[in-house]
Amino acid sequence: MFAERSFFRVSISVVTCLAVLAIMAGWGSRLRRDRDALPERWFAPGPTGREPGHAASPPGPAAFLSRHIGGLGSPAAAAWAQHNGLTPALSFSHNLANVFPPTLFAEHPDYFPLVNGRREQPTAQSFSWNPDLSRPDVALHAARVARDAFVAEPGRVSFSLGVNDGLLYGESPELLAAVTPLRWFRGRPDYSNLTFRFMNRAADELSRSHPDKFLGTLAYYWEENTPDFPVHPQVLPFLTADRSQGYDPAFWREEFSLQERWAKAGPRRLGLYDYLYGVGFVVPRLHPHLIAENLRHARSVGFTDYYCEATPNWGIDGPMTWLVAQLLSDPNQSVDGLLDEYYARYFQESAAPMRRFFERCEEQWMRQSGPSYWLKHFRNESQADLFPSAVCAELRQRLDEARRVARRSTVQARVALVADAFGVTERFVRMNELRVRLSRETVTTRLAGRAGAGLLGAYLDAKHEFIRYSQELTARQPLAFSQILYEDFLRNDPTVAAVAAIRASVSAQPNAGPDPLEVLQGRAEIGLTDGRVFADAVAREAAIERLPDGGLEGPRRGGRKIAGLTYGLDLPGAWQSKVEPTQTHVGEVTTAAARAGAAGLRISGAVNTTVFQWLPATADRLYVASVQARGHVTSSNAVFLTFGWLDAQGRHLGKSRAARLPDGSWPEWVSLQQGARAPQGAAWIGIGVHLQNQLTGDWAEFDDFSLREVAAVK
């Protein structure tokens, strides 16, 4: 979403959310109801992915015309998809980077976005921009490319003119006229009038030669709302939303109203786009009744086509993917009737406890607090809050009961897949609960002595157990999880800060007795070594400050603004920023946010904001970053101190690290701290803060940034 030079690996970016990650083997087909004995691999197909003679029922008159579930990439999963009545996807997703390749710039620079008075030529493989959609000649070019595709492939139904997965549209006079006055929808800029006027122009041109073809596109992010005018009948929009957020009644009402408005907007065909992950979660994300109600409502008001990103975690996702596949062929089926079939025929004698397990998981998802937002908890350690240890213990009892009553070997294997996969959830939750406690005691300077070392040791044990168990399980049971994104869930690591705090407490009391960290001797944990080295260097005054203007006191430069939207903050000196424009975002260097001196940084309303510096780095040297922070943090709102590495060519290197401000109110200043040694090949180190998904009432202030270097690491 942001420029390549940002060292922040954005956890919830538009690009990431639409990527299909990993390959899966898939679960098996729906069988005839008159069979008593089910084959071993009903829900886990072998090479054919089907049971001969038992194809799914043909789609009825209420079926979606196209029915595609993404993330089923293996041959077995593809066979499963065909057997369950799914179809290939239509062409509608991000595609303008292909329709307007960078090589076109030399001949038609006016097709590309105008920023600060000049047309910007995108680099190859860049998707953070969109062409100047306000220009009629841009629409005509897109129509010509689509026409050529239909001529080359007469059988294709649609050609995609979906916007690129980026937020740069430019600011030409024509574009400004199209988006002024600025409108907002779901807290984001509403560019639907701009995008669908472009689509209408292209469709009108295409209709002259191909009146029976469609131009697919996305009603996505800045284009979710209906435009102020009718949409051409040959435009085929796919309306995106994270409909798992229907636990929030306000979101649910708004989503159903939006579906109804789109159904009246003019297209002959309409697509519904869901996110049924799967990947990015290590806790159950079950919402079958929400999905069933959504599919039934959308089809009843006139939606004709369906696509979802799934990439399932088969071990903990339960009936979700199978259920959706059945409903796409007839969304008027009873969801509870289908679930009756699923539990009775798949888990057989263990049906009752397994049903209670999955229903309790759905209940936990629906009980979550706070307002909804797009892909809440996705690739975010906050998802652990939904399944606290007490709930995990309750769920484990139901799995144990299911194991006790399972008699058939097939049922035992099916229950074991779920039970073993849920073990990853349990270990992740335990690790995160200890991490949160360790972080709280570290930032409040309560971490000291043997009690502090014991807490640190418990956290390290839990982290290593989460990694060990999950890696062993996925090697043995590849169906359990599609992919576990360890960097997302482990980059917030308080080890270095905790060791430094414990060592500092020892230094403050020279007669306190043995080093409490001796209880951790023998552990091969690099953070323990780094923390000791840093604390000892501070005590010897051998840690050298490298960061210029950590107090944000220097003269400020204007931040980037495009089309009246804020893409960057006004910051001093070498400080840089990347901001996703939102209706509520406020970011400023102000005296009111100062801890010392006359300036500090305050940010509220951020969906995705980073403030950072890049400095030269030397390989193998230890760097420790810190910042003073205070604020209010809601669960799932991420406030990070973070840093990462670039090589001499500006490419990301190694793993980024972060220190997260724990949830809650922090009216007094606390210190966030993180450290690591520069990997081989590192030429640059970045330090900064990264904020995501601040809700109403959330805010954060920062001052006194520091980046200290320890010359020798032994």
Residue 567: half-sphere exposure toward Cβ, Cα within 13 Å: 17
**Are 547 and 707 spatial neighbours (Cβ–Cβ below 8 Å)?**
yes
Handedness of CA 133, 137, 143, 149 (dihedral sign): negative
pLDDT (tens digit per residue) in 254-269: 999 999 999 999 999 9
pLDDT recorded at residue 39:
28
CATH topology of domain 38-349: TIM Barrel (3.20.20)
Nearest to 630 by CA among 443, 442, 421: 443
State the number of CA atoms in the 13 A half-sphere of 347 facing the CB: 27
Give the least confident one: 75-84, 249-258, 285-294, 424-433. 75-84
d(CA 255, CA 122): 35
Mean pLDDT for the stretch of residues 327-334: 97
How far is residue 599's CA from residue 63's CA, in Å, rounded to a whole number?
Answer: 60
The Cα 453–Cα 495 span in angstroms is 10
Residue 616 has phi, psi (to 5 degrees) of -60, 145
**Integer angstrom CA distances of residue 404 from 350, 401, 624:** 8, 5, 51
Cα 400 to Cα 239: distance, rounded to the nearest angstrom: 41
**Hunting for tokens 């869930």 — which residue is that?**
489
User: 7: pLDDT confidence band, cut at 50, 70 and 90?
Assistant: very low
pLDDT at position 56, please? 55
Please give the share of the chain, as a percent, with pLDDT higher than 90: 80
Predicted confidence (pLDDT) at residue 40 exceeds the cutoff of 70: no
Q: Report helix, strand or coil for 566.
A: strand
Give the separation between CA 610 and CA 577, rounded to whole angstroms: 5
**Pairwise CA distance, residues 386 & 361, whole Å:** 9
417, 315 contact by CB (below 8 A): yes
Per residue in 603-657, pLDDT (tens digit) is 999 999 999 999 999 998 999 999 999 999 998 999 999 989 999 999 999 888 8
DSSP secondary structure letter of residue 584: S
Per residue in 114-137, pLDDT (tens digit) is 999 999 999 988 899 999 999 999
455 Cβ contact partners less than 8 Å away, ≥ 6 residues apart: 434, 437, 438, 441, 447, 498
Which has the closest alpha carbon to 689: 569, 595, 590, 596?
569
The per-residue pLDDT of the chain, averaged, comes to 90
Mean per-residue pLDDT for 363-378?
95
Question: What is the residue-wise DSSP string for 131-170?
Answer: --TT-HHHHHHHHHHHHHHHHH-TT--EEE-BPPSS-B--
Which residue is listed with tokens 């230094």?
Answer: 507
Q: Does the pLDDT value for residue 15 go beyond 60?
A: no
Q: How far apart are CA 460 and CA 465, in angstroms?
A: 8
How deeply is 712 buried, as exposed, middle or buried, from its count of CB atoms within 10 A (0-12, 13-18, 19+)? exposed
* CATH match of 556-710 with 2.60.120.260: yes
pLDDT of residue 122: 94
Burial state string for 513-527 with b = 16 or more CB within 10 A and e = fewer than 16:
eeebbeebeeeebeb
Asked if pLDDT for residue 573 goes beyond 70, the answer is: yes
Cα(193)–Cα(168) distance, rounded to whole angstroms? 16
Torsion sign over Cα 581, 306, 210, 160: positive
> Burial level of 103, CB count in 10 A (0-12/13-18/19+)?
exposed
Half-sphere exposure of 51 (CA within 13 A, CB side): 18
> What is the CB neighbour count within 10 angstroms for residue 396?
16
Q: Report the pLDDT averaged over residues 324-336.
A: 97
The phi and psi torsions of 59 (rounded to 5 degrees) equal -60, 140
The C-alpha atoms of residue 518 and residue 495 are separated, in whole angstroms, by: 15
Delimit the domains of the chain by residue range.
Answer: 38-349, 381-542, 556-710
pLDDT digits (tens, 9 = 90+) for 178-200: 999 999 999 999 999 999 999 99
pLDDT digit string, tens, across residues 279-329: 999 999 999 999 999 999 999 999 999 999 999 999 999 899 999 999 999
Determine which of 1-10, 253-262, 424-433, 676-685 has the lowest per-residue pLDDT on average: 1-10
With b meaning 16 or more CB within 10 Å and e meaning fewer, what string describes 611-623?
A: bbbbbebeeebbb
Contact 447, 472 (CB under 8 A): no
526 vs 498 pLDDT, higher one: 498
Determine the Cα–Cα distance for residues 364 and 425; give it in Å rounded to an integer: 14
pLDDT value for 508: 65
Model pLDDT, residue 14:
34
Burial class (CB in 10 A: 0-12, 13-18, 19+), 582: buried
Element (H, E) at 306: strand 305-309
